[in-house]
């Protein structure tokens, strides 16, 4: 069994650590991001009336994943999330795959969220595609600057942004129910493949709760507060998301055509006609900021932990006086900007992210199955079922994500193998 030495750089002073409230803020900001304002249209085009089953399946997978992360986090305070857990309970190679999948998947998420801002701005103002996506690039750069000031500042801002987003979503749901009673609640069961594909995209909006686990000992009493934060944030989001599905699709039958890429603008134009569409755009931007802020924080800490273990260049493990891994955060921000410039098909980027993150959680379930009996808090069937559902959704992701993501992982493993052999020869010489 591979074990890892604690990283001295990750042991922070108590005043730099997050409370339970701060950890919940990171979790909520991660999930209540711009994904919730976009994924429904792409999911509807795949599943149609099966959208309700797709949402249920995505929520079930998210819950099973959270259960496994809960158990792992209860016995490990090291930053890095499932990467660190699988390094402890499985082996370094499997942990490397989990870490690379998480880092590349979340870089894709950051890029996708930046592109979602463009969809809403274009929808509201009927603008052509902004040249160079300047607003998205500036946003990523600004959030990088905030993140390098330390995790407490990140959590404070994330909490404020998540609160604004949650209030807006509750207002949107309330306006829909006040407008009338749901009349289109039929649940389609045909087109199972479409339902699975839709669930894999909807998972993008649920993913985020385990972002808290990547913070490790940056959370006060981490073995107690990280599992609690995951449960609280996921429970809130599942309740809100199911209300959103009813609000968006239960009051007006969209037919078999895809709904708008900016579904909240479309819905509120009917249920709250006096609300200026610019307000919706403002909230989407707020949600995007909160989600991207939490994404940058969690992704950077996983990559920094990998660097501390020698899986990535050691230089990337360096932290500044605020405890932030500033070098790796800058690389993540630059790579996300590259994604924004390279791809304008948001749903493809979302598919890429979903594939990578589902693979990451599948490895997490394997780590749970390898835990010693005395560390288990739940039946093994939870992890077995979670792994099986993750595997099914991984293979159901639409578009080129499966092939492209697999190729990236294979290339990363080859580079790791070559680097390891060269390092071994250098030591022998």
Taking only the tens place, the pLDDT of each residue in 217-247 is 667 777 778 778 888 888 888 888 888 888 8
Q: pLDDT at residue 104 above 90?
A: no
Q: What is the pLDDT of residue 12?
A: 44
What's the pLDDT tens digit per position in 22-75?
Answer: 778 777 777 776 667 777 877 888 887 788 888 889 889 988 888 888 888 777
Show Cβ contacts of residue 15 under 8 Å, excluding neighbours closer than 6 positions: none
Q: pLDDT at residue 123 above 70?
A: no
Distance in angstroms (rounded) separating the CA atoms of residues 212 and 227: 9
| Residue 198 CB-half CA count within 13 A | 27
Give all strands (DSSP E) within 302-384, no chain letters.
Answer: none
Percent of the chain residues topping a pLDDT of 90: 5
Q: pLDDT at residue 183 above 60?
A: no
Q: What is the pLDDT of residue 143?
A: 76
Among 127-131, 139-143, 423-427, name the most confident range.
139-143
- The single residue listed with the structure tokens 């389609």 is 188
- Residue 224 belongs to domain with CATH number: 1.20.1740.10
Maximum alpha-carbon separation in the chain: 77
What's the pLDDT tens digit per position in 322-360?
Answer: 667 778 888 888 888 887 777 666 667 778 888 888 999
Residue 4 lies in a domain: no
When pLDDT is cut at 50, 70 and 90, the band that residue 308 belongs to is confident
Residue 176 lies in a domain: yes
Among 172-186, 231-245, 255-269, name the most confident range.
231-245
Q: Span 12-20, mean pLDDT?
A: 61
Q: Rounded mean pLDDT of the chain?
A: 76
Alpha helices by DSSP H, 126-221 = 134-147, 151-179, 192-206
When pLDDT is cut at 50, 70 and 90, the band that residue 9 belongs to is very low
Q: What is the pLDDT of residue 211?
A: 64
Q: Rounded to the nearest 10 degrees, what angle do helices 401-428 and 92-125 cross at? A: 140
Q: Span 106-127, mean pLDDT?
A: 72
Residue 2 lies in a domain: no
| DSSP tag of 400 | T
- Between 77-86, 117-126, 167-176, 277-286, the lowest mean confidence (pLDDT) is in 117-126
Residues present in the chain in total: 429
Dihedrals phi, psi of 219, to nearest 5 degrees: -105, 130
Percent of the chain residues topping a pLDDT of 70: 76
Among 95-104, 150-159, 212-221, 254-263, name the most confident range.
95-104
End-to-end CA distance of the chain: 29
Distance in angstroms (rounded) separating the CA atoms of residues 30 and 42: 20
When pLDDT is cut at 50, 70 and 90, the band that residue 265 belongs to is confident
Q: pLDDT at residue 82 above 70?
A: yes
Q: What is the pLDDT of residue 359?
A: 92
Distance in angstroms (rounded) separating the CA atoms of residues 345 and 340: 10
What predicted TM-score, i.e. pTM, was given to this entire model? 0.76
When pLDDT is cut at 50, 70 and 90, the band that residue 11 belongs to is very low
Q: What is the pLDDT of residue 148?
A: 65
Range of the domain at 165: 13-422
Residue 27 lies in a domain: yes
Q: pLDDT at residue 363 above 90?
A: yes
What's the pLDDT tens digit per position in 395-417?
Answer: 888 777 788 888 888 888 888 88
Distance in angstroms (rounded) separating the CA atoms of residues 261 and 247: 16
Distance in angstroms (rounded) separating the CA atoms of residues 220 and 228: 12
When pLDDT is cut at 50, 70 and 90, the band that residue 386 belongs to is very high
Q: Span 309-314, mean pLDDT?
A: 80
Total of domains in the chain? 1
Beta partners for 18? 219
Q: Which residue has the higher pLDDT, 392 or 113?
A: 392
């Amino acid at each position: 069994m591979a074990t890892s030495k604690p990283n001295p750089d990750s042991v922070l002073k108590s005043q730099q650590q997050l409370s339970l409230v701060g950890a919940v803020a990171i979790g909520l900001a991660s999930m209540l991001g711009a994904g919730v304002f976009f994924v429904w249209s792409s999911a509807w085009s795949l599943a149609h009336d099966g959208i309700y089953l797709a949402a249920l399946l995505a929520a079930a997978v998210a819950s099973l994943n959270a259960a496994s992360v809960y158990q792992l986090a209860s016995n490990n305070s090291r930053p890095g999330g499932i990467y660190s857990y699988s390094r402890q309970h499985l082996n370094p190679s499997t942990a490397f795959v989990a870490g690379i999948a998480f880092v590349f998947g979340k870089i894709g998420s950051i890029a996708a969220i930046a592109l979602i801002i463009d969809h809403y701005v274009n929808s509201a103002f009927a603008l052509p595609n902004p040249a160079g996506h300047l607003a998205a690039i500036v946003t990523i750069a600004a959030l990088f600057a905030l993140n390098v000031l330390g995790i407490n500042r990140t959590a404070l801002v994330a909490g404020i942004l998540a609160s604004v987003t949650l209030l807006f979503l509750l207002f949107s749901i309330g306006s829909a129910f006040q407008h009338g009673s749901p009349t289109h609640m039929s649940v389609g069961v045909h087109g199972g493949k479409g339902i699975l594909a839709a669930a894999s995209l909807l998972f993008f909006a649920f993913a985020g709760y385990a972002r808290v686990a990547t913070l490790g000992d940056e959370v006060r009493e981490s073995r107690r507060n990280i599992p609690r934060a995951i449960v609280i944030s996921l429970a809130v989001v599942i309740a809100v998301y199911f209300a959103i599905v009813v609000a968006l699709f239960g009051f007006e039958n969209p037919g078999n055509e895809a709904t708008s890429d900016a579904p909240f603008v479309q819905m509120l134009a009917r249920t709250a006609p006096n609300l200026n569409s610019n307000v919706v755009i403002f909230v989407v931007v707020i949600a995007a900021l909160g989600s991207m802020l939490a994404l940058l924080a969690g992704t950077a800490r996983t990559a920094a932990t990998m660097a501390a273990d020698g899986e990535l260049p050691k230089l990337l493990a360096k932290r500044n006086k605020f405890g932030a891994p500033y070098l790796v955060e800058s690389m993540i921000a630059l790579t996300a900007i590259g994604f924004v410039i390279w791809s304008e098909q948001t749903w493809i980027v979302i598919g890429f992210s979903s594939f990578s993150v589902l693979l990451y959680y599948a490895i997490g379930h394997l780590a749970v199955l390898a835990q010693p009996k005395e560390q288990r808090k739940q039946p093994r069937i939870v992890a077995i079922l979670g792994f099986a559902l993750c595997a099914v959704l991984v293979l159901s992701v639409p578009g080129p994500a499966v092939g492209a993501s697999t190729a990236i992982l294979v290339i990363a493993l080859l580079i790791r193998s070559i680097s390891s052999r060269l390092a071994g020869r250098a030591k022998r010489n």
